[in-house]
Amino acid sequence: MERIGFIGLGAMGKPMTQNLMKAGFACNVFTRTRSKIEDVLAAGAVWCNSPKEVAQKSDVVITNLPDTPDVEHAVAGKDGILEGARAGTLIIDMSTISPVASKNLAIQAEARGCDFLDAPVSGGDIGAQKATLTIMVGGKPAAFDRALPIFRALGKTITLMGDSGAGQITKAANQILTAINIEAVAEALVFASKAGVDPAKVREALMGGAAYSRSLEFHGQRMIDHNFKPGFRMRLHRKDLDIIMETGKAYGVSLPVTAQVRELMSATLNAGQGDMDNSSFALLLEKLSNTQIK
């Protein structure tokens, strides 16, 4: 069985590592704050002092990090994965980063005799905990086949989308849809509530028609409950839209509604909502409308 290295044991990476260990994989780990993963170490994971050391001890190295520069540094920076990797090492980035950067990392990995997959995920921290993530993969078919037993320990819907970068492009499309949809749910419920119609009944009625979406089901309930404890933090979703706008510019794609929703996300960050759930669009719209969903 492959020896797995995992770099970035945050809200997503920690339960993913735990699920890999439950599936029988030996895991070597590195993360920014060791004290937050003492339970993982106690369960048998091996601490490493750098991404380089993780690579030296592993056959497959997975990264799950907040942003593009973090992944670039972990993979190709000083004491990074490529400094410690042997020819034949498989590197899997499961972060959400720039597709352009992802392609460049794949080229650098290939030059060192390593395979590289971009494999961003959807499903949030709950999906990570339950091993029900959707995994969108870009890279070579042979590397994908090698990674499948690992992916099956982490998720349920696993798809090879195409060459390097295709996984990140697919995740970007996912983030466009979810951002616009969540904001639309917030507008609809604020609109109904201020007009004097019970938003809970509106949500229930719309769930049975063409307006149904998972965002209406799950985020709509969060808005009604005013429960903005983060599943997916607003600042991270805004980061994803930053990447999307940059990528759209690189490919010459017009993204007018995405741009508007990104600006609303920026307003929520300015209002101190960056670490709230992305359903907290509702709070901003309540303030703008001088009302509250109730």
- Tens of pLDDT, residue by residue over 37-49, are 999 999 999 999 9
Residue that terminates a domain, selected from 115, 147, 163: 163
Structure tokens at 11: 């809200």
Structural domain contains residue 233: yes
User: Do residues 157 and 183 share a domain?
Assistant: no
The whole-number pLDDT of residue 231 equals 85
Structural domain contains residue 294: no
Residue 16's domain is classified under what CATH number? 3.40.50.720
Structure tokens at 175: 């983030």
**Domain boundaries, position 240:** 169-289
User: Do residues 141 and 158 share a domain?
Assistant: yes
Catalytic residues, by residue number, are 171
Residue that terminates a domain, selected from 163, 197, 225: 163
C-alpha to C-alpha distance for 206 and 53, rounded to whole angstroms: 52
User: Do residues 9 and 146 share a domain?
Assistant: yes
User: Do residues 179 and 108 share a domain?
Assistant: no
Residue that terminates a domain, selected from 163, 188, 216: 163
CB distance 158 to 152 below 8 Å: yes
pTM of the full structure: 0.93
User: Do residues 41 and 153 share a domain?
Assistant: yes
**Smallest Cα–Cα separation from 178: which of 250, 126, 240?**
240
CB distance 6 to 27 below 8 Å: yes
H or E segment to which residue 27 belongs: strand 27-30
**Smallest Cα–Cα separation from 57: which of 34, 82, 84?**
84
- Tens of pLDDT, residue by residue over 214-260, are 999 999 999 999 999 998 999 999 999 999 999 999 999 999 999 99
User: Do residues 153 and 219 share a domain?
Assistant: no
User: Do residues 255 and 174 share a domain?
Assistant: yes
- Tens of pLDDT, residue by residue over 91-129, are 999 999 999 999 999 999 999 999 999 999 999 888 999
Q: State the total domains in the chain.
A: 2
